[in-house]
Chains A and B, each alone.
Chain A
Amino acid sequence: MSAQPAATGLTRKDFVSSQEIRWCPGCGDYSILAQLQKVLPELGIPRENFVFVSGIGCSSRFPYYMNTYGFHTIHGRAPTFATGIKVSRPELSVWVVTGDGDGLSIGGNHMLHVLRRNLDMQIMLFNNRVYGLTKGQYSPTSRTGMVTKSSPQGSIDYPVDPVSFALGSGSTFVARTVDVDATHMQEVLRRAHDHKGTAFIEIMQTCVVFNPTEWDEFENRKERQTTTLQLENGKPLVFGAPGALKGIRIEGGVPSIIDLADGEDPVSRGVAIHREDLESPAYAMVLASLVRPEFPFPIGVFRAVEKPVYTDMLQIQIDDAVAKRGRGNLEKLLNSGQTWTVQK
């Protein structure tokens, strides 16, 4: 990170609240908090214009630890409160913090609708594939068969994939990152902020108490070369350790892996080139279908397209109504239409 403070003169410290943090030692949430506190001062936004909104769950304690405006609301409904805030004051930078249970189970409906409305806000979904705060039941992103207190014989639910969900909901910006990769996460957070429209970020986050091994194969940088596919706009879909690179072809919507010889041009071998800006989410959906262990797990920006945002369109309607009918006048309203006068 650059040493010069941003135009606002803010630093990381300005975003640290005095609240004692109550996450378990080693929880992935610490890293996310740290990356965000690093990124926010660089955005050139006065501190008072940040609002963090959360629901219920471990992740939802987040606002208490940020020295910004914050609203810790009720289970699953954070997107609705955030919508009210953003609609009221579009100048605010609104961040929703949620988890796999909060955002995709109890709050799945609101997640769908906030994404399709394209409000200009950031939604960070901490995905640890388990319920932490209620002490370890399976979540809607848990793998089928996961043994927990509420599924002693293994979960029989099929999981939902957050990225596919967001793409299916029409989200204009969809990304995935991982708690252990500080640089990647910072970059994704910056990109999400710069995007005008709803930016959805799935963050693979480790719950060290109830699901500690879930993201093991993404833990160290070296292993990530083969287990993840780093998405970069305009670059071919290539992954793997140096000397053992592989590429991903997409033919008729079906992905496959090919081995690349040393120095070989992946494009000439038919490896797909990453495009964030495709109007149709179909290609991004194919990427979202890449799962372990058959494929590397894509991280980075899946989709980033521009579309008019809700609050702008609302303001246009207001301006239009004022232009056509003049600023509303209460006296006129009350006397509009049919009235009659009774004399003394």
Chain B
Amino acid sequence: MSTKKVEEIDHVAIRFAGDSGDGMQLTGSKFTETTALAGNDLSTFPDYPAEIRAPAGTLAGVSGFQVHFSSSEIFTPADNPDVLVAMNPASLKANLKDLRPNGTIILNGDAFSQKNLEKAGYTEDPRGPLATQYKVVDIPLTTLTREAVADLGLSKPDADRCKNFFALGVMYWMYNRSLDVTEQWMNAKFKGEILEANRRALRNGYHFGEITELLPVSFVVPPAKIAAGTYRNISGNQATAWGIIAAGELMNTPVVLGAYPITPASDILHEIARYRNFGIKTVQAEDEIAAVGVAIGASYAGMLGVTTTSGPGYILKQEALGLAVMTELPLVVVDVQRAGPSTGLPTKTEQGDLLAALYGRNSDSPMPILAPATPGDCFYVMLEAFRIAVQYMTPVAVLSDGYLANSSEPWKVPSVEDLKKIEVQHPTDPATFRPYSRNEETLARPWAVPGTPGLEHRLGGIEKENISGTVSYVPENHDFMVRLRAEKVARVAKSIPPLKVEGPSRGKLLVVGWGSTHGAITAAIRQLHGEGCDVAHVHLRHLNPFPSDLGEILKNYEKILVPELNTGHLTLLLRAEYLVPAQCFSKVAGQPFRIGEIVNKIRAVLAEEK
């Protein structure tokens, strides 16, 4: 056993970076899995290029995976990693600016050939100069991996493909992790020499850590003190998919998902397609419009219709969503927002679709809008979306984003008993049935299902008379129906729980966030509270309608700051709706907020003259 020093630390952030073909996403997620099982709180952030395989060794092809883990509660993948694992010069160059001062660089020395340095745009080898500012651990990963698997008779490319596991082994040693979870996964995933080679690379990496003089210290991050319960690691897209599955079970109504592949939403379709044994029907449609059409057709037929997409696809669905508004059918549409306009930055995050979700359809076409705050929250937001859709007979938009979709966090597994069952009702009595009669409380119309004798009726995009549901061109009826549809959505607010304000209930500054900025804002607020700053935070999961108490809360603060990954959508809405001087803290770089950016902005606002 190693006799090296072991240090206990509170938290670490590691970024694994390499070529798209180096398997960094896999390496990062394996490290995350093991870390989660060790009981740390954690947060991850995969950041990868849109191209599947950009030219090897170039900056464009660099793929990164950051994992932040801690013995106390954390909210983000961390602004600046403590450790950078760089598999080649390009990944070093692309990521170095984020590394914290005096951070550790673990690099594959074998990759620093003249050719690779040139491809990365280095005119000279950076390793020497860097050693004065960082701890540089230069390991000949390729050579050591080849040696480890030498007698297995693998081709050179096959042997070299194992080097990410060698690096992973080194990191497991550095943080005193067990190899078990990853080895179990390998046993199930690989066979024959490839299995043996990967296992050896992983173990040799670990042993290399034990014996090398390059790494004098290893670290222990003790388990986090979090609420008792069973936990799992979950990404936003997975939680979204499971939320959809759960909604079907809790409502005892089959789910039909219509979807067309689009980054970064496709994984929701992939995940749900695996669970046909829940009776779920997935239809990979010919395009985004067909996908929502299938979902609306399913809703009309009494199923839980749902469609999942990202910004460009969301826009294509708008006309059909208008039909769902007009015909008052329950439907959930998930928009995993990405940086735009147009194709934009397909793999990068943004919150730019809020106004489109609210106002993007022709004419007055109101729809409830929700946004999950964390990866795990996607699960609960999906349940909430289906609840509203079915109880109010309306399409509902859920605005996730690329950051939530791909990042992950430990998630306390709920007990199914604790999840609220929602009763779905379909009328059957021809004597009392009117297609557009109204529930007094919610204004919902009845959800009659084809196949029910005596309830034959026609729905459609043409304006209908209230109650009877027959086609009506009467001016007064149209005026009435436009307002009725708006009122129905407004009434959703009555079923929304009160907001929770973190910090003083009145004072100098309120930070209002929505969606995926929750982690960075919460971390910033906690830090500033530690410094005694007068600042509060409220986070919105319901964006249409706003919670009933939001107006009162806003009035209790002198200033309102709205950090959002767009140029001010929520800010505009708050100003318009409540006539408050909300100011936007905007970022549109395809990247989530850093905690430090928000901390600095809040400090600056607090320091402003009134």
**Chain A interface residues toward B at CB < 8 A:** 17, 19, 46-49, 51, 53, 56, 63-64, 66-74, 77, 79-89, 91-92, 109-110, 112-113, 314, 317-318, 320-322, 324-328, 330-331, 333-335, 337-344
Q: List 16 A–B pairs whose Cβ atoms lie within 8 Å, in order of A's numbering.
A: A48-B455, A63-B460, A67-B456, A68-B456, A69-B451, A71-B458, A72-B461, A73-B296, A73-B460, A79-B293, A81-B293, A83-B285, A86-B297, A113-B286, A318-B281, A330-B246
Is B48's CB within 8 Å of the partner chain A?
no
Do the beta carbons of B302 and A89 come within 8 Å of each other? yes
- The CA of A326 and the CA of B37, in the complex, are separated in Å by 28
The answer to whether B296 and A330 touch across the interface, beta carbons within 8 angstroms, is: no
Contact B277 A318 (CB under 8 A): yes
Separation in Å of the A88 CB from the closest CB of chain B? Answer: 4
B230: chain A residues within 8 A (beta carbon): 335, 339-342
**Cross-chain contact B298 with A85 (CB below 8 angstroms):** yes
- The verdict on B259 contacting chain A, using a C-beta distance below 8 Å, is no
Which residues does chain B contribute within 8 Å of A322, judged by CB atoms? 276-277, 279
- Contact A46 to B453, CB < 8 A, known contacts A80-B289, A337-B232: yes
B85 in the interface (beta carbon within 8 A): no
Interface window among B221-229, B384-392, B519-527: B221-229
Residue among B223, B281, B283, B450 having the largest count of chain A Cβ atoms under 10 Å: B450
Are the C-beta atoms of A84 and B454 separated by less than 8 Å?
no
Q: Are A339 and B232 in contact (CB under 8 A)?
A: yes
Residue of A nearest to B238 (CB): A337
Known: A80-B258, A327-B277. 14 other contacts (CB 8 A): A70-B457, A81-B293, A81-B296, A84-B256, A84-B293, A84-B300, A84-B301, A85-B300, A89-B451, A113-B286, A338-B33, A340-B230, A342-B227, A342-B229
Q: For residue A338, which residues in chain B have a CB less than 8 angstroms away from its CB?
A: 33, 36-37, 181, 232-233
CB distance from B378 to the nearest CB of A (A): 14
**Does B462 count as interface, using CB distance less than 8 angstroms?**
yes
The answer, yes or no, to whether B471 is at the interface (CB within 8 Å) is: yes
Q: Output the least CB separation between B297 and chain A (Å).
A: 2
Residues of chain B at the chain A interface (Cβ within 8 Å)? 33, 36-37, 39, 181, 223, 226-233, 242, 245-246, 249-250, 254, 256, 258, 275-281, 283, 285-287, 289-303, 305, 319-320, 322-323, 327, 413-416, 450-462, 470-471
Across the A-B interface, the 6 shortest Cβ-Cβ residue pairs: A84-B297, A80-B293, A72-B460, A328-B278, A88-B301, A70-B458
* Alpha-carbon separation in the docked complex, A86 to B298 (Å): 8
Complex CA–CA separation, A214 to B220 (angstroms): 84
Binding site secondary structure of chain B: mixed
* Chain B contacts for A73, CB-based, 8 A: 293, 296, 323, 460-461
B276→A92 contact, CB < 8 A: no
Cα distance A210–B601 in the bound complex, in angstroms: 65
When distances are taken between beta carbons in the complex, the residues of chain B under 8 Å from A48 are 450-456
The minimal Cβ–Cβ distance linking B252 to chain A, given in whole angstroms, is 11
* Complex: A91 Cα to B277 Cα, angstroms: 21
A320 to B39 alpha-carbon distance, docked (Å): 37
Contact of A341 among B229, B283, B459 (CB under 8 A): B229
Q: Given A322-B277, A333-B245, A80 and B290 touching (CB < 8 A)?
A: yes
Determine the chain A residues whose CB is within 8 A of the CB of B258 once the complex forms. 80, 84
Q: Is the CB of B323 within 8 A of A74?
A: yes
B286 and A69: CB pair below 8 A?
Answer: no
CB of B297 within 8 A of CB of A81, answer yes
Known contacts being A88-B256, A334-B413, is A342 close to B231, with CB within 8 Å? yes
Q: Is the Cβ of B297 less than 8 Å from the Cβ of A74? A: no
Q: Verify B285–A80 contact, CB threshold 8 A.
A: yes
Q: Would you give the shortest CB distance from B202 to chain A, in whole angstroms?
A: 17
Asked whether A70 lies within 8 Å of B459 as measured between CB atoms, the reply is yes
A74 near B450: Cβ-Cβ < 8 Å: no
Shortest CB distance B161–A (Å): 24
Instruction: Tell me which residues across on chain A come within 8 A of B36, comparing CB atoms.
Output: 338, 340
Contact present for A71 and B277 (CB under 8 Å): no
CA gap between A89 and B229 in the complex, in Å? 40
Q: Which residue of A lies closest to B470 (CB)?
A: A19
The docked-state distance in angstroms from the alpha carbon of A109 to that of B260 is 14
Q: Which chain B positions have C-beta within 8 A of A325? A: 277
- From the candidates A85, A320, A333, A341, name the one contacting B301 in the complex (CB within 8 A): A85
B232 with A85: CB separation less than 8 A: no
Q: Given A325-B277, A335-B413, answer yes or no on A80-B297 (Cβ-Cβ < 8 Å).
A: yes
**Known A63-B460, A72-B459, A334-B413: A110·B286 in contact at CB below 8 Å:** yes
With A73-B293, A335-B230: A88-B302 Cβ-Cβ less than 8 Å = yes
Inter-chain contacts of A72 with B (CB < 8 A): 458-462
Given A335-B413, A340-B39, verify A318-B229 contact (CB < 8 Å): no
Contacting pair B295 A84 (CB below 8 A) = yes
Partner of A47, one of B246, B280, B286, B456: B456
Whole-angstrom CA separation of A340 from B233 in the bound complex: 9
Neighbouring A residues of B287 by C-beta, 8 Å: 109
User: B232 and A84: CB pair below 8 A?
Assistant: no
A71 touches B300 (CB 8 A): yes
Q: How far is the CB of B279 from chain A (nearest CB, A)?
A: 6
A83 contacts B293, C-beta separation under 8 Å:
yes
Q: Which residues of A contact B470 (CB under 8 A)?
A: 19
Q: Which residues on B sit within 8 Å (CB–CB) of A67?
A: 456
Asked if A334 and B416 make an inter-chain contact with CB atoms under 8 angstroms apart, the answer reads yes
Report the Cα distance A111→B419, complex, angstroms: 42
Give A326 to B278 CA distance when docked, in angstroms. Answer: 9
Residues of chain A with a CB closer than 8 A to B289's CB: 77, 80, 110
Q: Is the CB of B416 within 8 A of A331?
A: yes
User: How many Å lie between the Cα of A53 and that of B296 in the bound state?
Assistant: 12
Which of B276, B278, B462 is most buried by chain A, counting CB atoms within 10 A of its CB? B276
| Contacting pair B297 A88 (CB below 8 A) | yes
- A331-B451 in contact (CB<8A): no
Give every chain B residue within 8 A of A339 (Cβ-Cβ): 230-232, 413
Q: Contact partner of B461 among A19, A74, A87, CB < 8 A?
A: A74
Is B228 a contact of A88 with CB atoms below 8 Å? Answer: no
Least CB separation from A335: chain B residue? B413
Bound together, the chains give a CA A327 to CA B280 distance in angstroms of: 11
A85 cross-chain contacts in B, Cβ below 8 A? 297-298, 300-301, 450
| Contact present for A328 and B33 (CB under 8 Å) | no
- A92 and B229 contacting across the interface, CB-CB below 8 Å: no
Task: Give complex CA distance A154, B298 in Å.
Answer: 43
Contacts of B455 in A (CB 8 A): 48
Q: How far is the CA of A64 from the CA of B537 in the complex (A)?
A: 52
Q: Which of B37, B299, B414, B416 lies at the interface centre, i.e. has the most chain A CB atoms within 10 A of its CB?
A: B416
- Cross-chain contact B451 with A110 (CB below 8 angstroms): no
A317 near B276 with CB under 8 A, answer yes
Known: A19-B470, A67-B456, A88-B256. A83 touches B232 (CB 8 A): no
Q: What is the CB-to-nearest-CB distance from B242 to chain A, in angstroms, rounded to a whole number?
A: 7
**Separation of A337 and B188 alpha carbons in the complex (Å):** 13
A residues in contact with B181, CB < 8 Å = 338
In the assembled complex, the CB of A213 is this many whole angstroms from the nearest CB of chain B, namely: 31
Q: List the B side residues contacting A344 at CB < 8 Å.
A: 228
| A92 and B450 contacting across the interface, CB-CB below 8 Å | yes
Select from chain A the residue with minimum beta-carbon distance to B417.
Answer: A331
Which of B298, B454, B462 has the most chain A CB atoms closer than 10 A to its own CB?
Answer: B298
Given A317-B276, A335-B230, A340-B231, A17 contacting B416 (CB threshold 8 A): no
Indicate if the CB atoms of B275 and A87 lie closer than 8 Å: no
User: Which residue of chain B is the closest to A56 with respect to CB atoms?
Assistant: B461
Q: Which single residue of chain B is at the shortest CB-CB distance from A341?
A: B230
